[in-house]
Chain A
Amino acid sequence: MKQLLLSLFLLSPALIWAQGSQVNTQSQKAVGMAGAGSALFIDESSIVYNPGALVKMDHNAVQIGGSAIMYRSAFREAGSADVHHTKFQISPPFGAYAVFGPKGSWWKAGIGVYTPFGGAVDWGRDWPGRYSLTHLSMRAIYIQPTLSFKITDEFSVGGGFVYNIGLVDLGRALPVFHPDGTAGQATLKGTGTGMGYNIGVHYNLADQFSLSLNYRSQVTTTLEGGDASFDVPSALASSFPNGKFDAELPLPASFNIGLAFPISERVDLALDGSFIGYSIYKELAFDYHTNTPVLEDTRSIKKYENAFSGKAGINYEVNDKLDLRVGAGYVYTPVPAKYVYPETPDNNRMMAAGGLTYRFSPNWSMSAAYVFQKILKRTTTNAETQLRGSYETNIHAPGLSVSYAW
């Protein structure tokens, strides 16, 4: 007689490669300048920062590097005395590059495999936002074959084709309860692919200044046949069937400008700005293969705005073997207050960094860097879950890379 309509409200997961997960560590030289230097540094990592600059390298090289990103977030619900922290985790983005071409030639070719987006947050199952997120681990791996051409001695162009492999692993609690009182859990895992491109133009006037213009296209990762698994009491299993899901995860485009010029015989100044097109996140669609009245396909509104970041760095050539550098930057968040989710508790952020490059020999060199980013405290009420509280995040990212040139 009493038909129990399980009209459970199931939120769409926020599968977004958002600002929070963009900690650019593709080049440890750039990391040491808080991200500045796309016009200044001409090396293997220009595959990422400006394919146009690649051809100006005076040698060929291979490079491998990585960072250990430690993303520490905290949350305090409005009116509560309890502060919740994410578990300590290290995300290891990496970058591997190879550049080759005849010496002094008008062309160079290269290939890069790197991770421009990625991160892991684990809030655990005991915090107020558990029904929004318990853990998220995301990674985008770009494979980019690249060509670069010298038009004149000063002016060069280049471009690469980007093939992306995206990995997602997300979990959240479900407000249905087992006989022992514990909440249910949903876990979504999947791999997707996407394509895009990366083009750049580099201009330098002798040793007076350099200008870099770089555009990285939007890459939409199409995730098909991901696994959705639900841990719910057996009486509800038919409403939460384990199955497959599809989703689209757009990674935003960015337009990057860099300027560099010497301010003394050994010191160079680099200034960079980036415009990231997050406004593509108007709506995120999520499709479960098997629908039930509880598991319905969702379209959730994200309404991100475009983001801008500015950074400046100074590189000091101590001697033939050693360069030292420092940098600072400020990033404006694309996330409007009411769309802040625990996956990406974003706000404007400040960055400070330092690094060095040491040349062991004419062939071998290494770069090391450390960047500290602070996502400023932000108090919000999320539009979907009505979770109200303050988030604050510290990011530490030491990194190391090694190059062999010939």
Chain B
Amino acid sequence: MKKNFKLYTAILSIGVLTGCAPDMDGDFQAEKGTADFSTYIAVGNSLTAGYADGGLYLEGQQVAFPNLIAEQLASVGGGEFTSPFFSSEQENGSGYLQLIALDQGNPVTEPVTDKLALRGQNDQGGPLYTKHLEPIQNLGVPGMRLDLAMVPGVGSTLGNPFFERLLPDEVASATRYIDFAAGHDHTFFSFWLGNNDVLGYATNGAVSRPDDPTTRLISVPEFEGAYRTFIEALTVKSQKGVVATIPDVTAVPFFNTVTTALLNAAVEEASGGQANTVYIATKTGAREASTDDLFILTFPSDLLAQPNQQGIPYGLHPANPIEDHYVLDSDEVKEVAARVKQLNAKIMEIAEENDLAVADVYAFLNKVKTGYVYNGIAISSAYITGNAFSLDGIHLTPIGNAIVANLFIDAINKQYKADVPKIDITSYRGIKYPNN
């Protein structure tokens, strides 16, 4: 009997000792591979800075993808990572859009106007933001372009206010973004510039304004020259890093939400069936809009049908077509798409020459355009309901940022044989809906 009792106790103990709860803690081993993550800097534009919903504000800055990456790098030797956060009293930064109501399914947005970080205006009435001069590692500047990174003046009060706030007054006008970025000591970097060099042109309906350098379409040789120079500056001590491809600008809700079909239907309803087509101005003359023409999200639809001096309703007749800068017509779409592909080929080439990881955001956003399910969330490029893009139709929601951060981490892990732990994207939100 004693023998059996011992046997019985032994079996029972084995059962209890193999753990009340399963132990999976040792399953993942964080690994830095061949990379040195001790000082990571993020170089780039609005996406790097955490710009969302049409503005730069504290909540968006906190979930910018480089900040999420930096949190994950902590377990593989990553160090401090600070950003030019707005203070909590000025947490709404440059102001941003909020979804205040769904009017029978139509979204109504309104800008936030309190707790802004405005310190004044420049000579042309443009905003100037509260300066942030403490040391930072997130160097993202909304609106920064590759061509503008190579010239002085962009940091002046008449240039880019998001860059101006990071620079001490005495050097602001003379500092070029490339020198600002490369001047930061680093062992690892992320670099994502080039989007605005195409997007600035595309969001203006492929109309390049001579007085506004942000609406230029960059040429391939100029892009390649600037990209190489910048990467050389960032890898001067053989630093490793990750770069990203430029998205197909037509994969974002900014271009996919106001469609020709919707406008035609609206016109038909408003005119009581008399008119059902809209006309657009293209570089080869006015014509009927087709399904291949893309209207920008911010197209002011109340312009439609307004009669001009000759009494011709706006947009409803070839003599008074919807202006070129509101539309990316089918030829312009092709032009922009082709340019993006050419620039991405250069990015891949330069990255390979410098042993840099590449996050293929171009391919990823095309997958989002088709739509897919990620951990039970339907992700698509649909405006608002797609969960990926914020209210401005171009920049990302926190979920979008988390997914892009994981994309960068995958690229880093692959290139440098590392095992940086990935992010649980379900911890982040999509668009906030109102309670009315």
Contact = CB atoms under 8 A, between A and B. Distances in A.
A233 B1 contact: no
Given A9-B378, A82-B424, A354-B8, A74 B432 contact: no
B54 to A, nearest CB: 15
Interface in B234-274: 257-258, 262-263, 266
A2 B30 contact: no
Interface stretch (B21-29, B77-85, B187-195): B21-29
B430 A175 contact: yes
Interface in B1-26: 1, 4-5, 7-8, 11-12, 14-16, 18-25
Interface in A77-109: 77-83, 85
Contacts of B266: 1
Contacts of B14: 352, 372
B209 to A, nearest CB: 26
B124 to A, nearest CB: 32
Contacts of A56: none
Given A11-B376, A177-B433, A387-B375, A318 B1 contact: yes
Given A1-B262, A175-B430, A324 B8 contact: yes
A79 B258 contact: no
A80 B424 contact: yes
Interface in A197-235: 232-235
B24 A392 contact: yes
Given A324-B8, A394-B22, A235 B101 contact: yes
Contacts of B101: 235
Contacts of A374: 18, 22
Interface stretch (A126-134, A162-170, A188-196, A358-366): A126-134
Interface string A334-353: 00000000000000000011
B430 A177 contact: yes
Contacts of A390: 24, 27
Contacts of B1: 318, 324
Contact of A76 (B19, B24, B30, B372): B24
B432 A181 contact: yes
Q: What is the interface residue range for chain A against chain B?
A: 35 or more
Interface residues of B, number: 64
Given A3-B106, A83-B24, A385 B376 contact: yes
B5 A324 contact: yes
A77 B427 CA distance: 13
Given A85-B21, A318-B1, A236 B102 contact: yes
B107 interface: yes
A6 B427 contact: no
A255 interface: no
Interface string B292-310: 0000000001000000000
Interface string A1-20: 11111111101000000000
Contacts, number: 186
A396 interface: yes
Interface stretch (B139-147, B222-230, B381-389): B381-389
B301 to A, nearest CB: 5
A168 B320 CA distance: 63
A77 B12 CA distance: 31
Contacts of A80: 28, 421-424
B49 to A, nearest CB: 20
Interface in A49-89: 70, 72-74, 76-83, 85
B436 interface: yes
Contact of A385 (B373, B383, B406): B373
A178 B22 contact: no
A83 B377 contact: no
A343 B22 CA distance: 17
A394 B14 CA distance: 13
B50 to A, nearest CB: 15
Contacts of A6: 105, 385
Contacts of B373: 9, 384-386
A354 B258 CA distance: 69
A79 B16 contact: no
A345 B140 CA distance: 43
A180 B4 CA distance: 61
Contact of A72 (B20, B258, B421, B423): B20
Contacts of B18: 372, 374, 394
Contacts of A178: 432-433, 435
Contacts of A332: none
Interface string A110-152: 0000000000000000111111100000000000000000000
A275 interface: no
B432 A370 contact: no
Nearest to B266: A1
Contacts of B12: 354, 370, 372
B28 A183 contact: no
B382 A235 contact: no
Minimum-distance CB pairs A-B, first 9: A372-B15, A131-B376, A9-B378, A81-B421, A233-B433, A392-B22, A79-B422, A385-B376, A72-B21
Given A175-B377, A177-B431, A233-B433, 18 more contacts: A2-B107, A2-B258, A3-B106, A4-B105, A72-B20, A74-B24, A80-B421, A173-B426, A175-B430, A179-B433, A233-B435, A235-B99, A235-B101, A318-B4, A324-B5, A326-B8, A326-B11, A374-B22
16 contacts: A1-B258, A1-B266, A2-B257, A2-B262, A4-B107, A76-B24, A80-B424, A175-B430, A177-B433, A178-B432, A181-B429, A318-B1, A324-B5, A326-B11, A377-B24, A394-B19
